[in-house]
Structure 1
Amino acid sequence: MAETGAAPAAALRDVVVHYPGRPPLGPLNLSVEPGEIVAVVGASGAGKSTILRLLAGLEGPSEGEAVRGSGRGRTGFVFQNPTLMPWADIRANVALPLELAGTHRDVAGRKAAGALEAVGLGDRLTAHPRQLSGGMAMRAALARALVTEPDLLLLDEPFAALDSVTRRRLIEDLHRLWTEHSPRPAMVFVTHDVEEAVYLAGRAVVLDAATGRVTADLPSPGAFPRPEGWRADAGFRAAVERLAAGLERSMATAGQKESS
């Protein structure tokens, strides 16, 4: 649940992004409250990853503004691939953002070990990326994003390449880690999977396939962490169908524009 009464953790306000050779994206309007989990769904090319880059400050808007809240301003980013340094062990990989921020190497190493313990890799501190399964590598990437105790955690389809069982376990772990943090970071999670969006997030926004504008903002029922068997709950199933219908409408509108 979002922490109300505070400035947003991040927001896009009337943002337009121009790219050569294609129509602009936007205007985009999105506000993410502190401690809130928001899923972003949409067709390929709708601007999902662009939203994450804007929120992270990796890309600037052509028009409008991308703003951050009044917290520490720390942002964690988990990409589609783990992007671990192959020559370094996992503890060194996770410690890197702390060391880059000026933390002493010994302190960074201890914090990295704690973060890896939290994601279930406490016994693999000296392993190298080639020695890890896909799920383990993504856990290491998640530990690296969380080790700085970010105010905002951005996730760009990090589980897309994993099998369904591993994906479910990682989502459960992500909920647990989010619940245990105080204060809880805001999270923005990009996915193509409507069931994943409803299960993971407190609300899901749908992007128009043609313009990238938000066409639907749908709440997900239930509390975090999700109770066992919640995927079979009638409320969950209904929310999934609502989100799927919203996504279908956003894609149908784009098709009509292309054929007109």
Structure 2
Amino acid sequence: MMMKKPLALILAAAMALTLAACGNTADSNSDGNASGSSENAAEQQKGKEDASGTAGTVASLDELNEKVAADVDGSITSMTQTYESLVAKTSTYDDYVSNIDSVEAFYDGVLSSTEDLCVRLREYSIEYAEFILASDASRGDKYDDMDELYDNVYEDAGSAIFDDVYDGVLSDAFDAFYSGVVSDGYDLASYGEWSDISSQEYDRWSDAKSDVYDVWSDFRSDVYNLYSDMRSEIFAEDWDRAEEKLEDFRNDVETMKSA
């Protein structure tokens, strides 16, 4: 009976050591799992950050404003210079008749240049929205910053196209050609020839004017809708919905470019 007590003590000590060892293993596994989970979470977060990239290609809204203004000014200047060059070589009715192909190309060029510019202005609008949504600004500041899109693209660029192209170079072309050298032909050519040339010039001018207006109007409508949508979703702090609407707009622009 005296042997049982030391044996019991030995067994108890052995059991305690075993439990302690198991506890250390469990703690080690727990620490390892926690460490692994933290590393995985960090890697997943890094992956999300890498996938998100950076929005836009400008460092500030001021830089984007300058890009828009420079593009609009350059495009309108190019159209104006083409017009002035054409006018310089069509100072008489006979000059006009000899350069009808150039006149037609001028109207086509004004339309295509306006179309291209309005597509780029839509792309700039995307840059505004991307930059603002990706910024660290507060909801209120983001809401206010969207006015940069309205002021610089919808208002300033839109007004420049209307004033300097639709009501500018095209109105000048009407005065120089239809009401100018073509009208002079009434006393210089047979009535039949003059009537045909006069009617054709009016149709070319009228078609160009109408088409440019449609392009301008569609562009303004699209940009205003984007501006309004972005402001609404920013106000509601529905960032997912804002991204969805921006993506829809982006897809529409890509479709327009490939048409």
Q: Which band: TM-score by shorter chain?
A: under 0.3
**Which of the pair has more CA radius of gyration?**
2
Q: With structure 2 as the length reference, what TM-score do the two structures score?
A: 0.21
Greater per-residue strand proportion: 1
